[in-house]
Structure formats: C-alpha cells, structure tokens
A and B are shown apart, each in its own frame.
Chain A
Amino acid sequence: MNDLEQLRDDVRATAPQPRPEFAARLERKVEAGFKADKTPSVWRRRKINLWAPSIALGCTVLIAFAIALATSGDVENMSGDDDGGGDVALLDTGSDDSGGTPATPPPAPEPEAAVPPAASSDASAPADEGHFLAPGERAAQARSPAPDRVRGRDGNRVVVRSTRLELETGADEFDEVTDDVLQVADDTDTIVQSSRVSEDNGRGVAHYDLRVPASRLDDTLAELSRLAHVTSRTASSEDITRAYVSATDRLDDARAERQALLKALEKADTDAEADAIRRQIRLARDRIAIAERDVQALQRRADRARVSVTVRSTGRKSEGGAWTPGDAVDDAGRILEVAAGVVVVTAAALLPAAILVALAALTARSLRRRRREGALDAAR
C-alpha cells in the first residue's frame, strides 16, 4: 500500500458517519417519495420566490394585450368615422313645402308682389344661406322647396333653385349608383349639363351638373337621395323677380312703343316722316327681341333648377347584402391582419421584458453562485 492509498484510507476512515435513525428516517422518506414531508425547505422557499417574476411576466402580457386592443379599437373608430359622415347636418335654406314647420320664419310679403308660402323663406335668402339641422330633421329637410313658376307678373316671385347633393357608396356599388343617377335624369326629363367620373384605386368620384324641371325637383331629389347614403345636401335659391319684372316691362314698353309707331306710321303725311317712323319701328323691334330673349332666359333659369350631384366611393365594400365567400375571405384576411398586429405589438412589448427577465435570471444565478462560493471561502 503506497502513501496515497494509505492517506485515502485514513481520510475515509475519518469520514463522519450518519446516525442509524437518521438514515432509516431518510430512507423511508425516499421510498415514500417525500410525499409525507411537509417541512418547509430552502428549495420550497425558492419555488415560492419564482412567483414574483411570473406575476411580472403575466402583468406585462396583460398590458401588451390591452395596448393591442386599444390600438385595434382606434383603427375601428377611425374606419367608423367614414360611415358617420351621414350624420353631418344638412345645409338647407328652404322651408318645407308640405306644410311642415319652416326651418326659418317666412319674411313678410312685399307689398308689390304676393309671395307663396313655399318660396317665402328662400326669397329672403339669396344664396347658400343655411343653418345646421338635427339628424332627425333630415327626412323633413330632404324635401326641397316648392318649385316656382315664372309668375312675376301675376304676383308670385321668380326664384331660381340650386341644390348640391353629395352621396357616398361602397366601392362595389359605385358604378351602379352612377348609372342610376343618369337613369333618374332620364325619368324626370332632367338635362345633364355635364358629367365627370373618375376612379382611382377603388375610390371613385362622379360629378353631375343637372338641370331639373322645377316642377319635378322634389321627386328628383327624393329619387337621387335613395340611390346612396346622403352625406351632405345644400339648397339655395336666388330671387330674380326684379330682373324678370324689369325684362318684361322693357318688353311691354317696346311692344307698346311699336304699336304707337305703327299707328303713327298710318298717319304719316310725307315719305320722309314715314321713313323716320319705320326706322324707329325697327329699333323698337330690336328692343322687343332683346327683351323677349332676356325674359325667356330668365324663364329657363326659373323653369330648371340646378342640381349638382357628387357620388363618392368609400373604397370599401358595402356592408349590406349577402355574405359571400369573397366577404369571408376578406374577413378572414382582416382577422389575420389584426391578429398579426396584436402579435407584433405583444412581441414588441414582451421582447424588452423577456430580455430583462433573462438578464435578471443570469445575474441572479451568477450572484447566487458567487455567494455560495463566498460562503465556502468564509467557512474557515
């Protein structure tokens, strides 16, 4: 036996021996799988300490999820605002021709002309003078002021009506709505003064400048309003009674002058006098023609109300209608898009937390190891 073996045996011989009762007790615990042992141990205390980082991690996940939900909610609200455009109060200067309460009190009738109730409110509002209405009043205001006839000489005011109507529709119904605008124009003897349609990336805009018979303005506007969601409607009127009366007076004067000249011509004694009267008759005839043209122009303006229609596409599909497989694909894509966004936001929020937790775990492990080694060094 060499020295090393002898030293080994001597060291082993000095090894502390466990007490038999402790050995037996521990063996029973081992065989029982430590199930009966309820004494708190250092290890159990450490397991309890693991709750702290677990709770922190759970809170981080909850915060990240809340952020994701809030972000998603903002997106929904932003998209919802598009649909809310219809709630914008309508601008209208006209009163209700059905006998309902006028939006503005009618002005007092002027002494030289009897003003019908339907036109009375607009007679005092030359153009584009309006007020905001509550959404509930939209139906009542959707009806236009009563059409005016050219009655300047029989006591009625001569008014030119103008209405600007803005419609909004889904991208899939844009073409149909624009076609329907033209169909309504055909059905109501409306003249399409001009039209312009443009479409870009699923967002279309169509402008129509219509001349609607004043007698059918109500029906036409009602039909147009049914084509799509009305986002804005503005009505205005222009009182041209004074111009009309002036033109008709000039016409009457010119005609009377011509009649007088014709009588004077009959009584002319000399050729020179007759020639002078004939020249005056020609001038009077010209003035009659000019006055007649002015009167007719004013009549045409009053006979046809100007309606400007704008149709806009929202860029999205309409929500109504049957739910098609295409809609399902779109919905699935949107859900995946939102889910991916939630995952990205969650990952963005969790990644720094995970890095911090990992660093903390590494640091704690290193510290624990150093403390343990330090405890051994201190055991002198």
Chain B
Amino acid sequence: MGITIAAAATAPERAAASFADLYRETFADVYAYVATIVTDRSAAEDVTAQAYERAYRKRRSFDARRGSERAWIFGIARNAALDELRRRRRVAWLNAEPPDEVLVAHDEVAVRRATVRAALEKLEPRDREIVALKFHGGLTNAELAKVLGLSESNAGTRLHRAVTKLREACS
C-alpha cells in the first residue's frame, strides 16, 4: 500500500494525499462490508461516510506498529456500523434491497450466486460479518483479529467455522 499516515502527519498536504489514496484503495471494500452489516443502502452510505470522516480526524493517532492501515480503517468502519445498529435498533439486511443483477434461472453462475447470497443471509451475524471482512474486505487473519479484537488463532478458527457453515448452507 505504501501509505504511512503517521509519518506524514508532519506534512499536512502529504497526509491528506495519503489519506485520499487510502480512501480510494479501501472505499469499495469498506462500503461492501458496512452494507453487509447495516440495514440498507442509505444507511450504509451514511456509515461509510462517517467512518472515513472519523478516520480522517483520527489519522494522526494511527500507529503502524499496532496494525495495518486497512485493519485500522475497517475497525473504525465496524465501530461506526455497530453504533448505527445501536442507534437505530432495527435490523434489515441488504437482501431487502433489489439485487444488483437480474436472476436468470438458466444462468448457472447467477443461480450459484443467488444461493450464496441466501446462504449468507442464513448465517449468524458474527459469521456473516467475518465472511464479509474476509471476502469483501480482503483482510488477512491478523487484520481480522485486530478488527474484531480477537487473537489471530481465534479469528482463524471463527473464520473457518463461518466458511464451513456457508458451504453447508450453499450445498
């Protein structure tokens, strides 16, 4: 990634440029992860915007020794998403939204992905979250552990169980 926010903190312009790079690199993944957790698209947009704003204001507190920037931004996004869930006290998953792709019965790929989406919906929220962090966010197990506040082995175990459940749900 090559972005070192802490090192650039002494140069505001470079820091802003570095943050913009981080944003462009992670925006789609963060949005996908947040949208998997919160209720709807508009909520996902609000939470994603809040997450980047928080990250921007806290960028000087980032410490590269404590984890990667990607784990850092996902941790902030997770907190923002959970805060939104707490605030709204309601849960409505993205499956309530119209699908992005039109399901065609004879399209094998489309059928398989619809199955995956349905399997994801059946997962426990924590399992669904870790799958989203892994596959949407592209985090390593170490980064997963950092975001979730777990040990790396524990994060790996939980990920394995969640994927196993997902596979079972797809079969």
Contacts and interface: CB of A to CB of B under 8 A. Distances in A.
Q: Interface residues of B toward A: which range?
A: 35 or more
A375 interface: yes
B39 to A, nearest CB: 9
Interface in A20-63: 22-23, 26-27, 29-31, 33-34, 37, 41-43
Contacts of A7: 116, 163, 166-167, 170
Contacts of A10: 112-113, 116
Contact of B28 (A14, A17, A376): A17
Interface string B45-88: 10011101110110000000000000000000001101111110
Contacts of B35: 16
A376 B45 contact: no
A43 B35 CA distance: 19
B129 interface: yes
B44 interface: yes
Interface string B101-134: 0000000000011001100100011100101000
Nearest to A30: B23
Contacts of A375: 82-83, 85-86
A377 B129 CA distance: 11
Interface of A: 3-4, 7-8, 10-19, 22-23, 26-27, 29-31, 33-34, 37, 41-43, 369, 371-380
18 contacts: A7-B167, A7-B170, A10-B112, A11-B166, A15-B135, A19-B45, A26-B52, A30-B23, A41-B54, A42-B83, A42-B87, A43-B57, A371-B86, A372-B85, A372-B86, A375-B85, A375-B86, A377-B125
Interface of B: 16, 19-20, 23-24, 27-29, 31-32, 35-37, 41, 44-45, 48-50, 52-54, 56-57, 79-80, 82-87, 91, 93-94, 97, 100, 112-113, 116-117, 120, 124-126, 129, 131, 135-136, 149, 163, 166-167, 170
